[in-house]
Structure 1
């Protein structure tokens, strides 16, 4: 009898937005599909993506687009088949999810930002987070709390 392939439970991470948790206080996150071209998928498999100023923009006709995420052109594709690295990419979500996120961003002044890109079941997914931007004081407080936690962990390790 042939062995069955073991399905991996953890998705294959392509890239993580390290600035997201530092600049925003994330309250909730969810998964969305993303509409890509073939050369973009190949470029993602090579890990050529940058989140820099990425965010989610909502349109009047009830669609969500990922804007500001740079996916580098794939170098083995011909000149005429290249994609625009900065083009807005449509997010694939249920209509109700889009409406809920849009209402929260308009009423409460929250932002929707991409947190990470990953492969799940052969498809590219993006984890988006809903959060409020941090000010300078709260960033400094987070750094201070992290330093205190690190020092106490060191002292406990020395004590044992």
Structure 2
């Protein structure tokens, strides 16, 4: 599996949040490395340098803070999962839905109501109104019904775990 930079950052942020929730007082690179291997089900450990590089990138993005202790640094997240979810959702809303909440809600409702992956057999269509997708089994010209906004609720926590490149 070839993970993108955003995927690595999300995995590391989630490991950091898990360790903070377990009340680890000082979280070093090796703690994050061990957590990813043991708790996330990865078959082999990521290289120490990989974890450190990604943590340092998160520091540069001001998502994580770093403090030196002896020869090592320990790390702390600067936002919680909910805050990260809000940021990711705002980025998603702007980037793909032109800040139109109704379009996002309609897409989320469509995804929620599909028993299987709805886009497996049909490509995404780009239009001036944003991304629209045709669920499998519908012709490309069929309109996609969008429920009223009151029918759906957006969970920022869910978006944090699925959005890339916070």
Place the TM-score, normalised by the shorter chain, in its bin. Answer: under 0.3
State the TM-score, normalizing by the size of structure 2: 0.26
Which structure has greater helix proportion?
2
Which structure has greater strand proportion?
1
> Which structure would you say has the larger RCO, counting Cα contacts within 8 Å and 6 or more residues apart?
1
State the TM-score, normalizing by the size of structure 1: 0.27
